[in-house]
Structure 1
Amino acid sequence: MAQHTVDVFIAGAGPVGLVLAYQLTRLGLSVYIIDAADKSSPDFPMYGRACTLYSGSLEIMDRFDLYEDLAQVGYVSKQRFTYADGQRVQGRGWKGVDGISGLTHFDYILNIRLKYSEDIFRAKLADKDVQINAPTKLLNFNLDPKVGDDYQVRATCEDTHGNSTTVRAKYIVGCDGGGSTVRKLAEIPFIGERKVDHWVRIDGIIKTNIPERRMGLGAFESKTHGHVLYVRLDHGAVRIGYVLNAHLFEKYGTRMSAADAAAEAAKAVAPFELEFTEIHWHTVYGIQQHVAERFQDRERILIAGDAAHTHSSGSAQGMNTGMHDVNSLSWRLAGVLKGWYKPEVLANYSTERHAAATQLINNDKLVSALISRKLPESMKGRKEDPMVLLDEVLEEQQLFSNGLGISYAPNLLNDVDGSYPPIMTTPGHRFPDFMIHRNGDNRIPTRLHEITKYNGKFRIIIFTGIATQTRRALQTLRTAVDKQAPRFQHAVDFLTIVAGMGLAFEDHLGVPQFGRAYWDHDFSAHFRNNVSLDHGSIVVLRPDGLLGHVSGMDRFDHVVGYLERLIVPGEVKVATNGHATRKELGTFMSENENNLAMPVENGATREESGLIVR
């Protein structure tokens, strides 16, 4: 029997398992990943399943350095259409691309079928020399807390030839779908229900006279086929989705042929003509809405993606929710394994993502019923057409569905105690992207999210305000950071955003900058975040890009208190002069650590004071 010893055992090599494995390996951890399906088999349905990535997920893919490869293949959707009885219906339909201009750099949807996104993820893992073991089934696993090392998980797997493998791991993560073996073996209840409704999805190449067929996202309000989905896909393909009502289900059942699925798709978009010249994939599926009781069990067992929650495809949330799970889990699990973060940080994954999944299921109950032209229980008595009510619900859910509005309540990581100076974002919410400039580059800005890519660490951002107004506070802060920050430097990166423009950061500020520094030429980064130019602010971003804590520049002790409850302090080597060595402090210290410039006098030039705006 073969044996392997790794940091993390991952069951399931779909998008969630693949991306989780990739993010863990990028931080130097070892993984063993299996999948029960043989995706090399010609009988495996490679083209269907998840296909739409919303703005919030595209931001995650960008932070994970996966976006560029996806964008090379996918189809961008910036507009959408809706027709009812052949007439354009203004305002109604899918809301994923509405009203988000200015909120994100990714103000669109990217449609790419799972075959191609998984190919990209597998290639990334191959570059890390990670082998995907498939087809291989997880037979069982157990935890032994009495082992003499940290490898408490013992998992037994078997391939199709009957060959067994034992994997010793520190953690096991179930990314193995709605029928998750990990969840079942851990005896985690899967709470929910199976609906009587059935929907059809069919992909392929079409001929059609739909007027706006090049748009990436559309809908048809059909009295016989419900709210009909039209999605423009990669490689010139299209997906049509519709409801198999009781009459049609009695006629076709779940064994509906590809030809019948195509014929009904043509009826669903009437009075327009539609013909499938190639059919790549089709499915008939029943709707299930479940949430696992918990996403972590006995500390060492975790679940994510469909293993933790299942729902309809009505709002295209499956892969998107899974990517938010990975964004929430990967840095916590890696940080605990590397000794950076306390166990409570990992436990917080289940708390936050369970709440988000519960909200998703509640949303899906409304959307899936209305798509099927049924009134959900909470809307009984409403007289409007279900399509009108669906539009109302989609509007209410828009920011959550596109991922930009996903947020978490005050907790261990989200420091909402009322003692911080108010800024535009509340802790627990996504921190916005905005433009800033590198030193000497006045023409081409860069985005905050571009320079805060995933590395598993917290980011402490110093908004300096106008240096002439905040010089003394900056000097006090510099002293506090040099004294307190070295304990956390293994898990924290600093960033300085300087209001105005100058020629050198240290000259301009009167103190060495905190980590890398960037100019806020026109003060827009300060204004957008409601940061006072007279006082500045300290902002702490969680490793997943959400705001965790806000303090005034004179309250670095509050930042320290926040970090102390999350981060395992690191050792700092002390030199003979009693100071931490520059090697240990990294970017916290400057080359001239004792050269603190005096405050600028009232006669300072506009260039010295940072008030130059071009």
Structure 2
Amino acid sequence: MDEGAVDKVDVLVSGAGPVGLLITLQLRRLGISTLIVDAADKASPNFPMYGRACALFPRTLEMLDQLDLWEEMAQQGWVNPDAGATYYDGKQVQPLADLTAVHLRGTYFNFWMNLRLKYSEDIFRARVAALGPKVQAPVRLVGLQLDEDAADDYKVRATLARPDGKSWTVRARYIVGCDGARSAVRELAGIGFDGAEKEDHWVRVDGVVRTNIPDARSAYIRLESKTHGQVLWAQLDHGATRVGFALSPELYAKYGQHMTQEDAVKEAKAAVAPFELEFDQVDWHTVYTIKQFISVKLQDRERILLAGDAAHAHSSGTAQGMNTGVHDAVSLAWRLAGVLTGMYKPGVLQNYHSERHGVARHLIENDKTIAELISGRRPERFKDRPEDNFVLFSEFIHAEWDFTMGMGISYPASLLNDVTGSSPPIGVVPGYRFPDAMLQKPGFRAAGHTVRLHEITKYTGKFHILIFAGDPRSTKVQLGKLRRDVDEHVGRFQHAVEFRTIICGRGPAHGECLGVEPFGWAYWDVNQSVHGQYDIPYKRGVIAVLRPDGILGFVAPLDGFERVVTYLERLIIPRKPETMINGATADIGELINADENNLYYKRINGQDVPESVEQGTVKSVEGVRIS
């Protein structure tokens, strides 16, 4: 067997595009063994340059930041400017305000970034290789079976083959298909792919250009052409620009699917006329047919999962392919890892289909309108409107802006998103992304001591329980009860949750201000603005439970932790409580400092047992909890 070619693994990932790489990266970080394969060896120095997906929208950037990928990607990307213009046949017809900055709140990523797929994948691939076997490529999936009678949990049997004809069988607990619109996983599993191939054909050309288009590298530009419809002008990484346009039926009859580079450049020049355009270098060009399909299910027979283009295919009209794929990857990986490690119940993974399939349906419906407008046709919904297509396009984009940017994507009520059981109401509804906010670390000088809420709730595969403590002078009684309730119950869920405390005010020590031991790490909300941002009364506070993917799952009052326990019991497989020392775990008999003298002894089952007198400390001996 070749190097890296294993025969037994927790998860087999088919497809090493951005979605497959991100899923593999997350699974490996969470201790799951993976094998990732791809039919193309894109890491080879002989593999041709490719462009493909490039635009990364704000919610995607937040997710990449949660995965500690944003900083490296930002070193190469092109960040969109604040404003731009639309030109029709060379004349400016309307200013183009940047809706990202205008409409998006509660984020520090109120912009988008262009970075071509090749460079994103290079970064992801290197991170994956640092945690385990590199991508196996070129390797194709040629066979897939589920062995329901397997003696162990490795029920997936996949046959993999190299170009030289060598093949081998891999046994896995799960397989994830991230292998594109022609997914071998989906086809071998017999999962339906509903939709249609359209008669629209679009062209993309990447390269280094010279032009007299105003602010061609420093403003967001949209071009409208009588002959080529809406023309894409996208500033890319490494000084390159992408020009895109639709082929009219006449142009497609002339060039066909195999349009040469020379012809693509020629038509790109015609598309931006009367502006001038010269290509000093062409990196990549493509002609592709618009398809709009959706898989009938994203999970099949428990063990087969789909994500990215394998689950949904559409045009690149609003650059949703990679963005939606990143959402899929982040939504799926923590669930799969949690089920594999015995942390989460099966329903958590089963919920992946209902959440992401609904988003994919919305995306496909949007794409039907977008693709027709870009291709120069009039969608049925706009058939009686007299305006030009570019006006209707702007109107539609404005209406769907939050969804397109990813910030408006939400999920319906479910076992994960407890809408009816959550109270008191706050400014975020369960099922929605929890906005970012600026907090202060310990210290009296704000400069250099601030931290974003998203930075203290990084991706760990665990739920984050946020204790918005309010003003402790008003919430003292509730905090005391909460401390007792947490100490009583949290041991069973310690493996799957992390606490953070947010306190209104500022002081020399969190515990002294709270009057109880903090719940996990604590931070200051100096002027109550963070509580106010979430519509949380500072005199009452609240408990907010965030899912591992940053979506709000549940809300309870400070003195209602028993309701949080009920919520967690639906999702988490409890474990025997471990010894806890001020919120940290330790082996029986292990003390933080052997010379401590702030201990007294208590008789439990005939044993002399030390117990700290510090408030909030709970220990256990041989499974007996002491309070």
Q: CA deviation at 1:92?
A: 5.0
Poorly superposed stretches of 4+, deviation over 3 Å: 40-45, 100-103, 579-582, 590-597
Is 2:125 the partner of 1:86? no
CA distance in 1, matches of 2:155, 2:476: 52
CA distance in 1, matches of 2:230, 2:171: 48
What's the CA shift string for 1:241-271, capped at 9, x where partnerless?
1111111111111111111111111111122
Match of 1:273 in 2: 276
CA distance in 1, matches of 2:205, 2:163: 30
Is 2:479 the partner of 1:468? no
Deviates most, 538-547 or 74-83: 74-83
Is 2:564 the partner of 1:559? yes
Is 2:355 the partner of 1:357? no
Q: CA deviation at 1:129?
A: 2.7
Out of 511, 531, 539, the residue aligned to residue 536 of structure 2 is: 531
Match of 2:373 in 1: 370
Residues 115-264 of structure 1 correspond to what in structure 2 (within 5 A)? 115-215=118-218, 217-264=220-267
CA distance in 2, matches of 1:359, 1:40: 34
CA-based RMSD: 2.2
Is 2:425 the partner of 1:422? yes
CA distance in 2, matches of 1:555, 1:214: 54
CA distance in 2, matches of 1:403, 1:66: 18
Match of 1:290 in 2: 293
Match of 1:513 in 2: 518
Is 2:492 the partner of 1:487? yes
SS of residue matched to 1:9: strand
Deviates most, 142-151 or 233-242: 142-151
CA distance in 2, matches of 1:315, 1:367: 8
What's the CA shift string for 1:448-484, capped at 9, x where partnerless?
1111111000000000010010001000000000001
Cα distance change of structure 1 residues 573 and 234 upon mapping to structure 2, 3 Å threshold = closer
- Matched to 1:169, the amino acid is A
CA distance in 1, matches of 2:281, 2:124: 27
CA contact (8 A) 1:57 1:403 kept: yes
- Structure 1 residue runs of 5 or longer lacking an equivalent are 598-614
CA distance in 2, matches of 1:216, 1:571: 58
CA distance in 2, matches of 1:463, 1:455: 21
CA contact (8 A) 2:86 2:224 kept: yes
Cα distance change of structure 1 residues 415 and 326 upon mapping to structure 2, 3 Å threshold = same
Q: CA deviation at 1:148?
A: 1.8
SS of residue matched to 1:481: helix
Match of 1:497 in 2: 502
CA distance in 1, matches of 2:615, 2:126: 49
SS of residue matched to 2:544: strand
Deviates most, 512-521 or 436-445: 436-445
Q: CA deviation at 1:413?
A: 0.6
CA distance in 2, matches of 1:573, 1:249: 67
- Structure 2 residue runs of 5 or longer lacking an equivalent are 591-597, 600-610, 617-627
- Matched to 1:163, the amino acid is K
Q: CA deviation at 1:441?
A: 5.2
Q: CA deviation at 1:380?
A: 2.2
CA distance in 2, matches of 1:199, 1:384: 23
Is 2:319 the partner of 1:316? yes
- Matched to 1:360, the amino acid is L
TM-score, normalization by structure 2: 0.91
- Matched to 2:487, the amino acid is D
Match of 2:100 in 1: 97
SS of residue matched to 2:256: helix
Cα distance change of structure 1 residues 574 and 118 upon mapping to structure 2, 3 Å threshold = closer
SS of residue matched to 1:553: coil
Match of 1:56 in 2: 59
SS of residue matched to 2:586: helix
How many percent identity over aligned positions?
52
CA distance in 1, matches of 2:203, 2:612: 66
Match of 2:602 in 1: none
Match of 2:411 in 1: 408
SS of residue matched to 1:507: helix
What's the CA shift string for 1:252-300, capped at 9, x where partnerless?
1111111111111111112211111111111111100001001000000
CA distance in 1, matches of 2:175, 2:57: 29
Match of 2:606 in 1: none
- Matched to 2:509, the amino acid is A
Alignment: residue pair count: 591
CA distance in 1, matches of 2:511, 2:43: 57
CA distance in 2, matches of 1:514, 1:583: 17
Q: CA deviation at 1:216?
A: 5.7
